[in-house]
Amino acid sequence: MAIEELQEIFDDKIKQEIKIEPKDWMPDDYRKTLIRQISQHAHSEIVGMLPEANWITRAPTLKRKAILIAKVQDEAGHGLYLYAAAETLGISREGMVDQLLCGRAKYSSIFNYPTLNWADIGAIGWLVDGAAIMNQVPLCRASFGPYSRAMIRICKEESFHQRQGYEILLTLSRGSKEQKAMAQDALNRWWWPSLMMFGPNDDASPHTVQSMKWKIKRFTNDELRQKFVDVCKEQADILGITIPDPDLKWNKERNHYDFGEINWEEFRNVIKGNGPCNKERLSARVSAHENGEWVREAALAHAKKRRKEVIA
């Protein structure tokens, strides 16, 4: 078939909301965009385990510890669903892992911030998983089948994450004066980086228009960020803590909250690798990978030996 004809079939499927599957013809740029987006997303899930894992050994109760382990294990699962979805587009697992470990691949800037105390685990569940859900729910309808299916699976698991975080803060905010102050302090530090998770403003986001045409994205960065701010305000009020933004106020005309300007300088800086924990995160991944090398080798050697025994 001529390329024009293939393109036409592809465009028609997108228009009719028919999913694109791995063996279907697709434009090169669509494939590249998906590989970039899905692999970055997978890396974020994997690196995202690190800030929370930092508190597993010091969770305040056994119950909290078991919950946090389950949550972090889910994130590992999310990374694996997404790596597998990206592999259907022709990139290898080793290729993606290499890109992450050599520092070439991006992952969400939020995970380059430190978790200083237990309240941060609450703030991450509430805000970071909350922002992730806001981003991910529309991705359940992404035009590429394997991505959409992975996102459906992920979204089912995410709401537990957000609730567990919110409940940590709820407990703190109903506790002693010091505990309430911890909850406020965590919100102060995580609020702005959470807003940055939605990416640059629409006029500075070069890929958005094309991604929306391809129905990979359904909403722009600014639209999603606005929804997030709108729902968080009420949630913060219930906790009795204050969002650290003097410009946050209800705008009756827009029917949305207005909010202050994000520090884009800081955002770009963290993306470039100069956030508080970029080096620590990457070196943790590199050493995990290197220290796991002998396990992978042993597993393969064992499998090979078993195959020989079966043949003999």
Partner 1 sequence: MINNEPLWEVFIRSKQGLDHKHVGSLHAADAQMAIENARDVYTRRMEGVSIWVVESKYIHASNPDEAASLYDPANDKIYRHPTFYNLPDELKYM
Residues making contact with partner 1 (CB under 8 A)? 1, 21, 23-25, 70, 73-74, 77, 80-81, 84-85, 87, 93-94, 97-98, 149-150, 153, 157, 293, 296-297, 299-300, 302-303, 306-307
**Among residues 88 and 242, whose Cβ is nearest to partner 1?**
88
Q: Which of 76, 70, 181, 56 is nearest to 121 (CA)?
A: 56
Instruction: Restricting to residues 157-216, name those near Fe ion by CB under 5 A.
Output: 158, 161
Would you say 214 and 30 are in contact if contact means Cβ atoms under 8 Å apart? Answer: yes
Indicate the residue type of 266.
E
The 3-class SS string of 129-195 reads HHHHHHHHHHHCCCCEHHHHHHHHHHHHHHHHHHHHHHHHHHHHHCCCHHHHHHHHHHHHHHHHHHH
The interface partner of residue 129, options being partner 1, Fe ion, none and the CB cut-off 5 to 8 Å by kind, is Fe ion
Q: Which of 13, 41, 64, 78 binds Fe ion (CB under 5 A)?
A: 78
- How many distinct helices (H) and strands (E) make up the chain? 14, 2
The interface partner of residue 161, options being Fe ion, partner 1, none and the CB cut-off 5 to 8 Å by kind, is Fe ion
- DSSP class of 271: I
| Distance of closest approach, residue 117 Cβ to partner 1, in angstroms | 28
- Which uninterrupted H or E stretch holds 250? strand 249-251
Binding marks (x or -) toward Fe ion, 226..245, rule CB under 5 A? --------------------
Q: Which of 172, 171, 164 is nearest to 124 (CA)?
A: 164
Q: Which of 89, 129, 195, 277 binds Fe ion (CB under 5 A)?
A: 129
Indicate the residue type of 189.
R
Using CB under 5 A as the binding criterion, the count of chain residues that bind Fe ion stands at 6
| Distance of closest approach, residue 61 Cβ to partner 1, in angstroms | 22
| Distance of closest approach, residue 234 Cβ to partner 1, in angstroms | 29
Q: Does 52 bind Fe ion (CB under 5 A)?
A: no
The interface partner of residue 94, options being Fe ion, partner 1, none and the CB cut-off 5 to 8 Å by kind, is partner 1
